[in-house]
Amino acid sequence: MPYIQSNDHTQIYYRDWGTGAPVLFVSAWAFSGAMWEYQMLHLSEHGLRCIAFDRRGHGRSDDPGRGYDIDTLTDDLAEVIAQLDLRDLTLVGNSMGCGEIVHYLARHGTSRIARVALVSGVTPGVFKSADNPQGFPKEVSEFAIARMKEDRPRYMADGAIKYFNLGSTWPGPELLSSEMVQWAVRLILECTPKATIECFRVSAQTNFLSDLPACTVPTLVLHGDSDQIAPLDLCGRRAAQGIAGSELKIYPGGGHGMFLTHKERLNEDLLTFIQG
């Protein structure tokens, strides 16, 4: 199996499909690189090299029980890029992965990066702070963690309706199948409990506002106007405002899980942006 060894000797698994200009996918909280199945298939069939890695404690990567701070996670991303010698690279992030991308740019620079796509990002931050007064109270994150500690499978299954913005009429033929939602929940539950909780804290409580100006490469922000996890006005719109020259594309009816609910449009927008 293909692995990268991090600075603290954690084995990081990655999948690598296709040939051509490289695209590296950075996953959402608790998801492994397997979440990008539909994007990687589409883009690799259109002449691009698609790579996705499993964050430490996620999927097939090691769980060292440590290193879940934003700097270490970002350094893991840097090791994947360096050890695979990726250059002229497109970075595509989802949710928490968007925070890791902008922090990578602030910490490691843009010398290897050609462009960035931020999908349903939590950037610049979802919880209340001095420079984010409209954010959610931080007590909400600790309540969520308490629920995970009590019954993690149920918490994830209950959250899927809100995550994908399925509404009270789901399941229905026009939305995700129950099988697709079950598959997504299974992927999340492959993340170890330690990684799940520690990465949730990082994703929820880190303010990435000061990292946004480091994103000096062409940037596409894609966000749903019905995202209940990272609301458009709190996250996507503010991220685009904080990144000079970026483009914001709003998906009507889009929730937080657009990599599945809006996969056809997302695939085409990513392909156009990368090949543009």
Q: Which residues are catalytic?
A: 95, 227, 256
Six token digits for residue 258: 């657009």
Q: At residue 80, what is the residue type? A: V
Q: What are the φ and ψ backbone dihedral angles of 74, each rounded to 5 degrees?
A: -70, -35
Q: If we measure between CA atoms, which residue out of 147, 128, 152, 166 comes closest to residue 257?
A: 166
CA 23/CA 119 separation, integer angstroms: 14
CA 196/CA 148 separation, integer angstroms: 9
CA 234/CA 80 separation, integer angstroms: 30
Residue 206: strand, helix, or coil: coil
Q: What are the φ and ψ backbone dihedral angles of 59, each rounded to 5 degrees?
A: 55, -125
- Give the other-Cβ count within 10 Å of 235's Cβ: 27
Q: What are the φ and ψ backbone dihedral angles of 139, each rounded to 5 degrees?
A: -60, -25
Cβ distance 50 to 17 under 8 Å?
Answer: yes
Cβ distance 270 to 43 under 8 Å?
Answer: yes
Cβ distance 163 to 256 under 8 Å?
Answer: yes
Diameter of the chain measured on Cα atoms: 47
Six token digits for residue 22: 């490289």
